[in-house]
Chain A
Amino acid sequence: MRSYLEDPVKITLSITKACNQACKLCYCDCSQEPSGEELTGEAWMRFIDYLVEHGFMQVYIEGGEPLHRSDMMDVLRHCSRKLMTLLRTNGRLVDGTKARELKAIGVGRVLVDLMGANADTHDDLAGTRGSFERACNAVAELVAAGIPTDVLTILNRRNVGEMQGLLKLAHRLGAERVGILRLYPLGRAKRCWNEVALSLDEQMQVIESLDPPPGLGIMQSWHPRDHNCCWQSATVDAVGNSIGCVYLREYVNYGNIKSMSFLDTWHKDPLYRRLRSGEVERSCSDCSASQGTNGGCRSTAYAFHGRWDAPDPFCSRLNNGVDLRVLPKGLLEKGPQRPDPAAA
């Protein structure tokens, strides 16, 4: 079974590589100040108009920290009434006033990163003292303002014993769902991989032991929910590159929206077309049955095997002995690049 789209309906805007925290697992390698190459607020608003004109229905905005941009509220105000708008934030700049402002301009859902169930863990991973309290407060204020709010966390060695506590915390704060995300070998996370990565068995034990409080939803992408999202993935990074998915940010570049239309990257780039086709060597029947796609995540498949059609080692049925605690040779040296689709 393969899912497909003629044109995308949803898109992620990785709107900045600047952040007001110094997270150890940052996939973006964020800095405090944005580079001069990032798209301006006016350019993002023009792109949002393009998205509306071309039938997009949803935009998911993340960073870096989006609210760290001084023009972010203008961008959100520009798109929230035209597109279903989701915002991912570390919550540091979200107090009651900001939460009510986000509600008033029509932001549809906010996702707040909580990296642990207590301040020691979260603040250590965020590299910023006091950030746990601010993130928890953000969730509570967003919920109080009436915005559907989710908590996101990246499962790693530092917080592995806190997942159940995190579910309880998120529930207590009023979150609707908790998204437990896998650790990707990208940015700063890959440089501390040996300290933070878990074996697949350790990850599966945690996922299988979760007991969410009544009413709290869980989002996770391990077996039997390992999804190959590429068929619908559309992402533009902070400088305007079309990169398919935020987790492909170091591996692909389908073209820049400053010099070509986004839909031209979608329709014409051979690697983009290939990844959307769902052609893979091997697939897990359970994951395929539950997700309607083949082969699992292409980012981790490529990171660990170096082939676009390889099986995803984060699925227990497809892992085939890959030790997820050990990065493949050469991955640390890999930066943004464009693999030759014919050679993969």
Chain B
Amino acid sequence: MEVCIVFTPDNPNLFTLNSTAWLVFDLCDGRSWRRLEKAYYDAVEPLRSPEEARDELIGVVSDLERKGIIERDRVARMSKPRPTTRGRNKGAGSNGG
């Protein structure tokens, strides 16, 4: 299992993202909300309906914003505040042994 760890230096903290938050974090590359919604739905359909995907996305984006991991600019593009850093993928987890 791989994990994504994010460091937010402006409010020093480490966060371990679950797979959904990790996907959203990666998609927040400065794109508009409409493009983000489309990209997220493309990634999760057919497991989610468009409405389910949108609700899920709103919740995750809100959580990432609250933690200072992403930010929304004035024209509603979603991106990472600099210098938020992401750890490279690590082989972290349990092997069930």
* Chain A residues proximal to chain B, CB less than 8 Å: 1-7, 9, 55-58, 80-85, 106-109, 278, 292
7 pairs of residues in contact across A and B, judged by CB atoms under 8 Å: A3-B92, A4-B92, A4-B94, A5-B90, A7-B91, A84-B13, A108-B12
From the candidates A57, A85, A108, A292, name the one contacting B87 in the complex (CB within 8 A). Answer: A57
B34 within 8 A of A: no
**Shortest CB distance A49–B (Å):** 14
**Complex interface: chain B residues within 8 A of A107 (CB):** 12
Q: Which residues of A contact B9 (CB under 8 A)?
A: 80-82, 106
Residues of B within 8 A of A5 (CB): 90-92
Assess whether A58 is in contact with B90, with CB atoms less than 8 Å apart: no
Q: Is the CB of A1 within 8 A of B7?
A: no
- Ranked 5 nearest A-B pairs via Cβ: A108-B12, A6-B91, A55-B88, A2-B97, A57-B87
Q: Which residue of A lies closest to B14 (CB)?
A: A84
Closest to B2 in A: A6
A57-B87, A83-B7, A84-B7 given; A9·B92 CB < 8 A = yes
The complex places the Cα of A3 from the Cα of B92 at a distance, in Å, of 7
Q: How far is the CA of A109 from the CA of B5 in the complex (A)?
A: 18
Separation of A3 and B93 alpha carbons in the complex (Å) = 5
Known contacts: A81-B83, A83-B7, A84-B7. The answer to whether A4 contacts B12 by CB under 8 A is no
- Complex contact B87–A9 (CB within 8 A): yes
- What's the least CB distance linking B73 to chain A, in Å? 22
Report the bound CA distance from A5 to B3 in whole Å.
11
Nearest-CB residue, chain B, relative to A2:
B97
CA distance A3 to B91 in the complex (A): 10
A9: which of B5, B85, B94 is its contact (CB, 8 Å)? B5
Determine if B7 and A57 form an interchain contact, defined as CB atoms under 8 angstroms apart: yes
Q: Is B14's CB under 8 angstroms from A4's CB?
A: no
With A5-B90, A9-B90, A84-B7 in contact, do A278 and B97 touch (Cβ < 8 Å)?
yes
* Residues in chain A near residue B7, CB distance under 8 A: 57-58, 83-84
User: Which of B14, B88, B94, B97 lies in contact with A58, CB distance below 8 A?
Assistant: B14
Closest-CB distance, A75 to chain B (whole angstroms): 16
A98 to B4, CA, bound (A): 33
CB atoms of B91 and A4 under 8 A apart: yes
New A-B pairs, 5, CB < 8 Å, besides A6-B90, A57-B87 = A1-B96, A5-B92, A6-B91, A81-B83, A84-B14
Would you give the shortest CB distance from A263 to chain B, in whole angstroms? 13
Cβ-defined contact, B13 with A7, below 8 A: no
Residue with the greatest number of chain A CB neighbours at <10 A, chosen from B83, B90, B95: B90
| Complex CA–CA separation, A82 to B13 (angstroms) | 11
Q: Which residues of A contact B88 (CB under 8 A)?
A: 55
Decide: B92 and A57 in contact? CB cutoff 8 A: no
For the complex, give the distance between the alpha carbons of A1 and B97 in Å.
5
Contact at A57–B93, with CB atoms within 8 Å?
A: no
- Give the residue name and chain of the A residue nearest to B3 (CB): A9
Task: With both chains docked as a complex, state the minimum distance between the C-beta of A129 and any C-beta of chain B, in angstroms.
Answer: 34
Q: How far is the CA of A55 from the CA of B5 in the complex (A)?
A: 10
B87 CB to closest chain A CB, in angstroms? 5
Alpha-carbon gap, A106 to B12, bound state (A): 7
Q: Which of B17-68 contact A (CB under 8 A)?
A: none
Complex contacts, B92 vs chain A, CB 8 Å: 3-6, 9
Q: Known A58-B14, A106-B12; judge A3-B94 contact (CB<8 A).
A: yes
Which A residues are in CB contact (< 8 Å) with B90? 5-7, 9, 55
Instruction: Report if A1-B91 is in contact (Cβ < 8 Å); known contacts: A57-B5, A80-B9.
Output: no
Chain B residues closer than 8 Å to A82, beta-carbon distance: 9, 85
B87 contacts across to A, CB distance below 8 A:
9, 55-57
Check if B95 sits within 8 Å of A57, measured CB to CB.
no
**Do A109 and B91 touch (CB < 8 A)?**
no
A28 to B96, CA, bound (A): 36
Chain A residues with CB below 8 A from B94, complex form: 1-4, 292
